[in-house]
Amino acid sequence: MMFAVALITGLFMYDNAEFFSTAKQNAADGMKWEYVGKQAPGDNPSIPIIDFNTGEEIIYWKMK
């Protein structure tokens, strides 16, 4: 069971490496997470969720 959790976590981190790298750099530059409400992801790397009503990718938080 531990192997499965470690594998899934590792794959998630690998698949979203650009997002985590950008978020780390933004935090170092003084940016913070802010609630922006339901909106399209935009140009910045993100981990969007799918709106099951419309099928669109959306985010609720953004670094500013």
What is the structure's pLDDT at 61? Answer: 94
pTM attached to this predicted model? 0.75
Show me where the domains of the chain are located. Answer: 2-63
- Residue 56 pLDDT > 90: yes
Say how far residue 10 (Cα) sits from the centre of its chain: 15
DSSP the chain: -HHHHHHHHHHHHHHTHHHHHHHHHHHHTT--EEEEEEE---SS----EE-TTT--EEEEEEE-
Question: What tens digit of pLDDT does each residue of 31-47 get?
Answer: 999 999 999 998 888 99
Task: Average the pLDDT over 43-59 and give the result.
Answer: 93
The whole-angstrom separation of Cα 30 and Cα 40 is: 23
What is the structure's pLDDT at 44? Answer: 84
